Amino acid sequence: MIDHRGGSPTKSATAPRSVVALVDATSGVERELVGAWLGDGGIAKEIGTDAPITQLDLDAGAIADRLIGRRDDPLVVPIRVLWLPPERDGVRRMTFADLAMLTNPRKPHWIAQRKLVRKSPDRHVILTGQPALLSELRVNNPEASALHAAGTAEPFARAILRAAVVALERAERSIIGDRYKVPRLVAEEILDSPDFTRRLELIADQIGADPQEVYRRAEKALNELVAAQSRTVSDLFTQAMRPVHASTWKVETEESGLAALRALNRRYPLVFLPSHRSYVDAFVLGDVLARNDFPPNHVIGGANLRFWPLGPIARRTGTVFIRRSFGDDEVYKAVVEEYFAYLVAKRFNLEWYFEGGRTRTGKLRPPRYGLLNYLAAAVRADRVDDVMLVPVSITYERLNELGAIATEQAGGKKKPEGLTWLARYIRSQQHSAGHVYVRFGAPLSARDRLAAHGDPLAPPRVSIPLHHTESAAEPIADADPETTERERKAVQRLAFEIAVGINAVTPITVNSLVTLALLGVDERALTLGEVCALLAPVLGYIEKRNLPSGELDALRDEPNLAVVLEQLSLAKVVTVYRGGLEPVYSIESGAHLEAAFYRNSAVHWFVNRAILELSILAAVDSGAPDQLRTGWDEAFRLRDLLKFEFFFPDRAEFTTQITAEMLLVDPEWNGRSRKDTLGTDILGKLTASGFMMAHRVLRSFFDAQLVVAERLAARDPGAAIDRKEFLDECVSVGRQMLLQQRLHSPESVSTELFGSALKLADNRGLLRPVSSTSAKDRTELIARRTEFADRLRGIGARIAQAAALDPSNIPGLGTR
């Protein structure tokens, strides 16, 4: 980019015979500054030409009247005055002090401009955008130029205006930094696109509507949708929101990963796809990126947060509010698809939370595919060379909003967002909550990954409207069925890779490990020594696997561990009894769901170990001649039962992972003969490892599945199942089973876990009612539902067996 503060001049191959200066000025002061700069030979210094200069306003009418009809080939140079805020602590950024003075240092009024020119000449810069010959602008805008040749000048004039604005914006960023990259004239450019206009005409024909009415609807939808970013609002909003999380958490991130992403961002747009655990996720991530001079992300959000004043402010900081469901509104679908493609084509960075909402359990939720479908469509249509997808893990040591999440889990209603909710939420964040870890996974090339998954990656023969809904797999209409299925599966596999990328960089925090320990001791309270002894072998296991972690050294000695437990006590997750010989710790009554949330943020690191334990127990108990085969069969069955809870690799990679877990238990396992591979001594090796994971990691998920299975078995096989009614029934019956001690812990009574179990049952063909009156069909469905429940009872018994083998259940563990 060219500016008069050291930019390298760009010279044409042949010197231009004339120059047209397109001046973007808002006041007489700015015109005087530009005029003085031109008179002082500014253009000659920048471009290296003494050609005569014509000065025009940067206005479509002036361009149409005085530029595009010229017969010579002038060099067009956009020029603007850039006003800068005063430098404070090495940063030029607007503050609330400026707001209190009723002035905007980025857009001072003419009286303030006059004063700044006299007293603070360093506060303004004359910018020149990248120049272009008029003939080059014609080549770059062939359709608009053709309309001009046919007698219509306005489209070409608007195209030149947009090109000038973009060039000036790029020149500005060379001075103020990439974090202030904001789009201009977006709605106008989209509506001027001949391809989009033709699509609207096609829609009008399809729905039998007047083309002008469809165009007006599209214009209204775009004005509602397009994020009207403001640098001023971004500065102020960052200052206002930073204390909300800065006083609550100490944010930790990896600078090396950010440097690599910055280099990648010079070539490709980035799409940040974070885990979603809190309402402040976007503020935390946005602050990290702003501090490292990334341009602001366009954050795709739900319309539920578009309330005053948050909605209007968020929209001016880059948030795009999209309706949850489009229904049959083909115009809105076309607008969203075009806007999405426009953003990636112009290399604006995006951000959305692909789980579709905050996790209620602490672990990743199944992904939503709607926006990934839009991304894939833009890549297939060659609207962009490539897009780099960045998995992001945002992990909190403690969250002050867990009480509301637990209430929703137990069947309570979510409170609607609004001004009162916002005030209450900000007030709840005024307590220290330890660390928040922001980790960036390995970027994924959308083009490479879609091609690797069998996506044809060719422009579609027809425009394909993609639906953004709350369903797990959105349909793609008007395409060849076989191609559509490949595209759908390619997007699903891409989503799987993103989830795996997030999990791969999610650290194990001190609170996730402490709650993992305390939730697995059958409601017993433990002394400090017992907790320390219980955690020691798990810490050794984490170290052997070299897993990402937080401040886990704090758990290795009793004084630091006591601090962690006291902090969890202040958060009302752990209760402490001090009336005896020494303090003892246990999960607070009624706080099991909150404790499980912390545990589940890292639970994926221990799932394979838990599956291995249950598989070994199944093999040893079976008495089968080939225990090895029995163990592997059980491992694959467990993997299948848990596929709606965790992200498992294919069978070959899963086999490799389980083998690695086995080698940690028995390093000599590969050298054993097939007959003694799973001898009874393997149980001794499991116990000798110092811990068991099955009851800590998997029990709540299988208990929730059992509730669903039993309620299905009790249902009339001919009756249709209403999802909401069925989940409410599961909550009520689950509470009863908990009181009867048929369930191990309150964390099993969870609408989120019941919902996943219901998906599993549907996947097994257990939900669809029998439509015929055939007694055989009815009996067969009842039998399959009953077998499902029996299978889960068997797993529950085996989990209890694993818990009995856990050293933490040995009396006197860790006593001094």
* Residue 8, pLDDT score: 37
* Residue 184, pLDDT score: 62
Question: For residue 274, what is the domain's CATH number?
Answer: 3.40.1130.10
| pLDDT tops 60 at residue 173 | yes
Whether the CB-CB separation of 230 and 319 falls below 8 Å is answered with: no
* Within-domain flag for 331: yes
* Residue 312, pLDDT score: 63
Q: Which residue has the higher pLDDT, 429 or 445?
A: 445
| pLDDT tops 70 at residue 3 | no
Same domain, 790 and 648: no
Q: Is 146 exposed, middle or buried (CB count within 10 Å of its CB: 0-12, 13-18, 19+)?
A: middle
* Residue 397, pLDDT score: 86
Q: pLDDT tens, 223-234? A: 888 876 666 555
| pLDDT tops 60 at residue 625 | yes
Distance CA 193, CA 199 (A): 10
Whether the CB-CB separation of 647 and 500 falls below 8 Å is answered with: yes
Q: Which residue has the higher pLDDT, 86 or 676?
A: 86
Candidates 700, 651, 646, 660; CA nearest to 506 is: 646
Same domain, 532 and 679: no
Q: How many C-alpha atoms does 326 have within 13 Å on its Cβ side?
A: 22
* Residue 616, pLDDT score: 93
| pLDDT tops 70 at residue 315 | no
| pLDDT tops 90 at residue 510 | yes
What angle (nearest 5°) sits at the alpha carbon of residue 256, between those of residues 250 and 260?
125
Question: For residue 517, what is the domain's CATH number?
Answer: 1.10.10.10
Last residue of some domain: 633, 664, 689? 689
Q: pLDDT tens, 715-759? A: 999 899 999 999 999 999 999 999 999 999 899 999 999 999 999
Q: How many C-alpha atoms does 261 have within 13 Å on its Cβ side?
A: 27
Model confidence, pTM: 0.76
Whether the CB-CB separation of 388 and 269 falls below 8 Å is answered with: yes
* Residue 76, pLDDT score: 93
What is the dihedral angle through the alpha carbons of 471, 635, 506, 589, rounded to the nearest 10 degrees?
Answer: 80
Paired sense of beta strands 350-351 and 435-440, if any: unpaired
Whether the CB-CB separation of 391 and 502 falls below 8 Å is answered with: yes
Whether the CB-CB separation of 180 and 295 falls below 8 Å is answered with: yes
Count other Cβ atoms within 10 Å, centred on residue 473.
15
* Residue 417, pLDDT score: 57
* Residue 2, pLDDT score: 33
Q: How many domains does the chain have?
A: 5
Candidates 748, 805, 426, 798; CA nearest to 595 is: 748
Find the mean pLDDT for residues 767-795: 90
| pLDDT tops 90 at residue 201 | yes
Same domain, 445 and 311: yes
Last residue of some domain: 472, 505, 538? 505
How many residues are present in the chain?
816
| pLDDT tops 70 at residue 477 | no
CB burial string 485-503: b at 16+ within 10 A, e below: ebbbebbebbbbbbbbbbb
Q: Is 89 exposed, middle or buried (CB count within 10 Å of its CB: 0-12, 13-18, 19+)?
A: exposed
Same domain, 494 and 548: no
Find the mean pLDDT for residues 678-707: 88
Distance, C-alpha 753 to centroid of its chain: 21
Q: pLDDT tens, 526-564? A: 999 999 999 999 999 999 999 999 889 999 999 999 999
Q: Is 697 exposed, middle or buried (CB count within 10 Å of its CB: 0-12, 13-18, 19+)?
A: buried
Q: pLDDT tens, 671-680? A: 765 555 555 6
**Mean pLDDT over all residues of the chain?**
83
Return the residue matching tokens 């469901």: 325
* Within-domain flag for 5: no
Same domain, 68 and 215: no
Find the mean pLDDT for residues 590-609: 93
* Residue 681, pLDDT score: 78
* Residue 813, pLDDT score: 47
Same domain, 661 and 702: no
Distance CA 518, CA 537 (A): 15
Same domain, 333 and 424: yes
* Within-domain flag for 202: no
Distance CA 313, CA 729 (A): 41
Same domain, 228 and 116: no
* Residue 460, pLDDT score: 38
Q: pLDDT tens, 573-591? A: 999 999 989 999 999 988 8
Same domain, 676 and 725: no
CB burial string 391-405: b at 16+ within 10 A, e below: bbbbbbbbbbbbebb
* Residue 471, pLDDT score: 33
DSSP category for residue 367: P
| pLDDT tops 50 at residue 100 | no
* Within-domain flag for 725: yes
Return the residue matching tokens 């926006």: 371
For residue 392, give both structure tokens.
Answer: 């992001």
| pLDDT tops 50 at residue 469 | no
Find the mean pLDDT for residues 26-37: 92
* Within-domain flag for 268: yes
Candidates 534, 569, 570; CA nearest to 555 is: 534
* Residue 479, pLDDT score: 46
| pLDDT tops 60 at residue 94 | no
* Residue 648, pLDDT score: 94
Q: Which residue has the higher pLDDT, 238 or 510?
A: 510
Classified as helix, coil or strand, 506 is coil
Last residue of some domain: 561, 586, 601? 601
Dihedral-angle region of residue 709 (phi above 0 means left; psi in -120 to 50 means alpha; beta otherwise): alpha
What angle (nearest 5°) sits at the alpha carbon of residue 167, between those of residues 166 and 173?
90
Least confident range of 167-181, 380-394, 629-643: 167-181
Whether the CB-CB separation of 42 and 21 falls below 8 Å is answered with: no
* Residue 473, pLDDT score: 33
Distance, C-alpha 374 to centroid of its chain: 15
* Within-domain flag for 169: yes
Q: Which residue has the higher pLDDT, 764 or 313?
A: 764
* Within-domain flag for 31: yes
* Within-domain flag for 13: no
Q: pLDDT tens, 278-290? A: 888 888 898 888 8
Q: Is 328 exposed, middle or buried (CB count within 10 Å of its CB: 0-12, 13-18, 19+)?
A: exposed
Find the mean pLDDT for residues 208-236: 80
Same domain, 575 and 616: no
End-to-end CA gap in the chain: 70
350 backbone dihedrals φ, ψ, rounded to 5°:
-120, 165
Same domain, 274 and 395: yes
Instruction: Please enumerate in sequence order all residues whose Cβ is within 8 A of that of 212, keeping only pairs 6 or more positions apart, or say none.
Output: none
Same domain, 328 and 438: yes
Residue ranges making up the domain that contains 53? 19-177
For residue 411, give both structure tokens.
Answer: 């069947």
Instruction: Please enumerate in sequence order all residues whose Cβ is within 8 A of that of 672, keeping only pairs 6 or more positions apart, or say none.
Output: 666
